[in-house]
């Protein structure tokens, strides 16, 4: 990371603008009034891939409830065609935004894929970390941190565990 992340729990989430694989521009500020889940994602990471069905299954319901899911690919070692191919193969129902130069990953301090950031309707960062408590040694989760955080935000109460250690593949940053 080139600098200290600007995304802090309890503070306004830093705004950004990125394009998805269809060329549509997504600006975080445009989603004010909705809950936003940022999922730092990878076309190559098996852990990110393992969570794709989880996100696909919830995407439609979340959208109906005013919850926006944005996947962000900040990896520098493959191109947009690879992302499109993988998204098509996995039949992903959520947009994948391309973070060239890992600007947004650096802004948020995203380290892995997945690395989750939950932003409330007022644009405040309320959670960052792992989807759940699985690790390389612990394959089956006991706690889904994202679901706990989302329930708290939906009920306008404090998030019980606002930050956890992310679990996944390291984001391959553009060093240049």
State pLDDT tens for residues 20-70: 999 999 999 999 999 999 999 999 999 999 999 999 999 999 999 999 999
Burial class (CB in 10 A: 0-12, 13-18, 19+), 23: exposed
Count the domains in the chain: 1
CA distance 117 to 67: 13
On whether residue 71 sits in a domain, the answer given is: yes
On whether residue 112 sits in a domain, the answer given is: yes
| Range(s) of the domain holding residue 102 | 17-170
Q: pLDDT of 77-115, one tens digit each?
A: 999 999 999 999 999 999 999 999 999 999 999 999 999
> Residue 119: beta bridge partners?
36, 125
Identify whether the C-beta of residue 109 lies closer than 8 Å to the C-beta of residue 7: yes
Q: Residue 148 maps to which CATH number?
A: 3.40.30.10
pTM of the model: 0.94
On whether residue 42 sits in a domain, the answer given is: yes
Q: Which residue has the higher pLDDT, 109 or 138?
A: 109
On whether residue 87 sits in a domain, the answer given is: yes
Residue 176 has pLDDT above 70, yes or no: no
On whether residue 154 sits in a domain, the answer given is: yes
On whether residue 116 sits in a domain, the answer given is: yes
On whether residue 4 sits in a domain, the answer given is: no
On whether residue 3 sits in a domain, the answer given is: no
């Amino acid at each position: 990371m080139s600098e200290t992340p600007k995304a802090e729990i309890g503070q306004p989430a830093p705004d950004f603008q990125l394009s998805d694989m269809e060329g549509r521009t997504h600006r975080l500020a445009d989603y004010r009034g909705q809950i936003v889940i940022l999922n730092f994602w990878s076309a190559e990471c098996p852990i990110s891939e393992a969570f794709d069905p989880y996100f696909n299954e919830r995407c439609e319901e979340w959208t109906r409830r005013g919850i926006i899911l944005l996947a962000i690919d900040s990896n520098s070692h493959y191109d947009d065609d690879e992302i499109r191919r993988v998204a098509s193969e996995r039949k992903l129902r959520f947009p994948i935004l391309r973070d060239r130069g890992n600007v947004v990953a650096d802004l948020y301090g995203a380290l892995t894929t997945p690395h989750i950031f939950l932003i409330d309707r007022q644009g405040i960062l309320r959670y960052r970390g792992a989807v759940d408590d699985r690790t390389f040694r612990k394959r089956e989760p006991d706690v889904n941190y994202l679901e706990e955080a989302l329930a708290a935000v939906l009920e306008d109460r404090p998030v019980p565990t606002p930050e956890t250690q992310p679990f996944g593949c390291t984001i391959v940053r553009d060093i240049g």
